Amino acid sequence: MRLLVTGGAGYIGSHTCKALAASGHLPIAYDNLVYGHPWAVRWGPLEIGDLADRKRLDQVIQHYRPEGVIHFAAYAYVGESVKDPGKYYRNNVAGSLNLLEAMRDHGIPYLVFSSTCATYGVPERIPIPESHPQRPINPYGQSKLMVEQILRDFQVAHGIRSISLRYFNAAGADPDGEIGEAHDPETHLIPLVLEVAGGQRPHITVFGEDYDTPDGTCIRDYIHVTDLAQAHVLAIEALASGRPIQPAYNLGNGQGFSVKEVIATAAAVTGRQIPMQMGARRPGDPPRLVGDAGAIFRDLNWKPLYTDLAEIIQTAWRWHQKRPYFGKAKPSVS
């Protein structure tokens, strides 16, 4: 299939483009390059454009005639969403609506949506199933939930079938070392810890050590980015096949690791000291976030290949060592 991949120059989008190409599909990356990178687009064409620009979107669709869409393009900084909610609703919700209306008008019938476990809010039970109430506690999670609702309405009104994939913590890098995680600013724990190991930061700040967990730090479910990418391939193929599917699936390993466990594992993988500095809790950080991904195992035969935390971190470390800033201190640290 020819597939439009919005946000295809980003972290998960670029890994998904590689997985799509390996499965015989043509990924067309559509990205405004606010957070994406041209060097990450290597398995199909890159078309620069914004979802707010309907004219540009129409041009790209008319040129390539994609048969489906995988939609990653979104802002994803939780703290920023609290400070500037309008930016998130305008980009994540209005941009998605623009995309869906373009799909409607051009007769594109399938979409896989990059959603998030942030739609659940503070969990009532662990592991979290797809049936868990969705009560986001920040505008980022709320914006993703709004799009999930819009997708349901567009399926009823226009026949556009979709799957929303609710990620837990994406981590790691392409095992071949061709692409990896490169955010600015970086907020994810594993790359921040590896920047400490690599000398870019003097320490890692641990936000809270008095949670109701075995070592007092937050527990999260880490899922390798290559496994995430493969789930998107299976999801778009399932939509095209017409098989019965759920409207949403969790993507996680079903196991959690604490912040201190991640730091200790990274120290073992890199063979380097990783100094910690304790900080106050961040508002809205649940003690545990672990997903139940049994439904996608059952329906799409998806199983993560990278379930060992050390292996996940090792792929990220190999990529990190190739980055141009490796061994150089960054001006701002946290």
- Sorted by where each starts, the structural domains of the chain and their CATH numbers stand as 2-171+222-251 (3.40.50.720)
Residues 248, 16, 66, CA angle at the centre, nearest 5°?
A: 80
Residue 35 three-state SS: coil
State the catalytic residue, choosing from 140, 167, 249, 306: 140
Asked if omega into 85 is within 30° of 0 (cis), the reply is: no
Residues 6+ apart with CB under 8 A from 188: 169, 170, 171, 181
The size of the chain, in residues, is 334
In the prediction, which pLDDT does 88 show? Answer: 97
162/332: higher pLDDT: 162
pLDDT of residue 132: 97
Residue 164 has pLDDT above 60, yes or no: yes
Rg (CA), the chain: 19
Q: What is the pLDDT of residues 107-162, one digit of tens each?
A: 999 999 999 999 999 899 999 999 999 999 999 999 999 999 999 999 999 999 99
Residues 243-296: tens digit of each pLDDT = 999 999 999 999 999 999 999 999 999 999 999 999 999 877 888 999 999 999
Tell me which residue has tokens 């040129």.
63
> What angle is formed at CA 73 by the lines to CA 72 and CA 77, rounded to 5 degrees?
100
Three-point CA angle 300, 116, 135, nearest 5°: 120
pLDDT in tens, 47-92: 999 999 999 999 999 999 999 999 999 999 888 999 999 999 999 9
Q: Mind listing the pLDDT tens digit for each residue in 203-246?
A: 999 999 999 999 999 999 999 999 999 999 999 999 999 999 99
Under the banding of pLDDT at 50, 70 and 90, the label for residue 184 is confident
The Cα 241–Cα 238 span in angstroms is 5
What is the structure's pLDDT at 334? Answer: 41
| Confidence band for 333, pLDDT divided at 50, 70 and 90 | very low
Residues 270, 191: Cα–Cα separation, whole Å? 12
249 is catalytic: no
pLDDT at 331 over 80: no
